[in-house]
Amino acid sequence: MDSEFNPNNIQEILKFLPIFDEPGFVFTRPDPEGGWEYWEAPELNHFVSTLYKTDFLVEFSWPDWQDKALQYYKNPSLLEHADLTTIRKLLTLHVRKDRFFDGHLSSMCEDGHIQSILRRLEIIFSENL
């Protein structure tokens, strides 16, 4: 599952951390007319494209892994020990789940969960330079 990553690929992903951490950064806005549609930050869409472009996402049965992912969400301290495989699976799950539940990924960003995952990726990257 862990393929060799070019450090530049991880750096491309980590470029989104300061953007998402920016105080007041808006991930989504509700439809001004009160409909079901909402505006999503272009940076969020670019983040997803970058995950695909860098082959960071992995193929696995993410629906079967949701209980495990929920543990990382409910207890963020678990991320302190997450390895690269787990980080890849978490981001894969959130991106894929967003395809079925529109707004899931932006919600995870608004809660700071995606940023926590990226911070752990940053540590893994710096330890392996």
pLDDT in tens, 24-79: 999 988 766 766 667 789 999 999 999 999 999 999 999 999 999 999 999 999 99
The answer to whether position 2 is within a domain reads: no
Res 36: pLDDT: 61
Domain span at residue 24?
7-127
> Angle at the Cα of 31 (from 24 to 36), degrees rounded to 5?
120
The answer to whether position 26 is within a domain reads: yes
pLDDT band of residue 8 (cuts 50, 70, 90) is confident
The answer to whether position 117 is within a domain reads: yes
Distance CA 84, CA 55 (A): 13
Distance CA 106, CA 9 (A): 22
User: In the predicted model, what is the mean pLDDT of the chain?
Assistant: 90
Res 1: pLDDT: 43
Domain count across the chain: 1
Distance CA 59, CA 76 (A): 24
**Residue with more model confidence, 32 or 94:** 94
